[in-house]
Amino acid sequence: MSHNPTETEIKLAVAGVRPARKLLRSAGFRIERRRVFESNLVFDTPRLTLRRTSQLLRLRQAGKAITVTYKGKPVVGRHKSREELEFTVPDAAMMATIFERLGYRPVFRYEKFRTEYRLERGSGLATLDETPVGIYLELEGSPAWIDRMAKRMGFGDRDYITASYARLYLDWCRENRVTPGNMVF
């Protein structure tokens, strides 16, 4: 379970994996968790009750780790903050069955490769996310920490992205005239 039930984060679009790694290294970040493939399955009711209220119920498999996540309604400003509750489970298929028995069904699947980075000191987290629709850095921590780290890497608040990966995918589909489906490689 998360120690802090509130997640505050932003995304930053970057030109590629190499430039992103260089930015992270020059800002003092070091790899905490090596690159891993993630498969994320979002669940909702048939009427999309969670989506309409900007909540999320997700089942994520990252390597051998399987995590259930609930995200509450976001408070969006320069940063996105929302309640986040997580726990690990031993069996993704069983958890998906439980969700379905409770009236939730899979509505969206998205994939990415994620590498996690941390500073030697400090409580924030930086991730390098390689997605089918672009490369993004995520900064998660206090608003002041996020602003400091973004500035250290040459970004300003005009570069902050508070949209979800589902929203970024839908925007990408619209821009590229692709019929939306799942954000997979």
Length of the chain: 185
Q: What is the pLDDT of residue 121?
A: 85
| Superfamily per CATH, domain 6-175 | Hypothetical Protein Pfu-838710-001 (2.40.320.10)
Res 184 pLDDT > 70: yes
Q: What is the pLDDT of residue 1?
A: 43
Average pLDDT over residues 164-178: 97
34-60 confidence digits (pLDDT tens): 999 999 999 999 999 999 999 999 999
pTM of the model: 0.93
101-157 confidence digits (pLDDT tens): 999 999 999 999 999 999 988 789 999 999 999 999 999 999 999 999 999 999 999
Q: State the average pLDDT for the chain.
A: 96
Closest Cα partner for 60 from 81, 79, 36, 32?
36
